[in-house]
Amino acid sequence: MNEPAAYLTDVELALIASPFIADYQIIRSWANTDDGYIRIRARLTNDDFIEAAEYFAARGEKLITVDYRYHWTNYTKQVLRRRWDSTPDHPELENFPYHVHVGNEETVIPGEPLGLIAWLKIVEDELT
């Protein structure tokens, strides 16, 4: 798939189909012929909060995630569970710029390039 508008539809379908999404809001989304953007907020069934922003682009036959930030917060304690992002602020890490903040802003580990649908699967797997 390399159609940005179709990808946005797939993201919304993943949100609807997830048994762990209690409710969600698409804050902003747009798609051109060769790129797109989506930002969502959602409450999970355990009352945790997630927020995601992703910019993606068509490269040949594929869509790739160019820039992203996925945030997961424990609702009751207002504590960061994890934040995945591609901000180039940890050049010392393997797989720079991809990294994950775990439990707080100071604990940072290497990450992988990650799309929003794959990230939702990670959250779901952790909640199972």
DSSP symbols for 52-70: EEEEEEEETTEEEEEEEEE
* Domain count along the chain: 1
Question: How many whole angstroms separate alpha carbon 116 and alpha carbon 39?
Answer: 10
Give the residue numbers spanning the domain of 11: 4-127
Q: Is the pLDDT of residue 1 over 60?
A: no
DSSP state letter for 48:
-
pLDDT digit string, tens, across residues 49-107: 999 999 999 998 899 999 999 999 998 778 999 999 999 999 999 999 999 999 988 99
Question: How many whole angstroms separate alpha carbon 70 and alpha carbon 42?
Answer: 11
pLDDT band at 118 (very low <50, low <70, confident <90, very high): very high
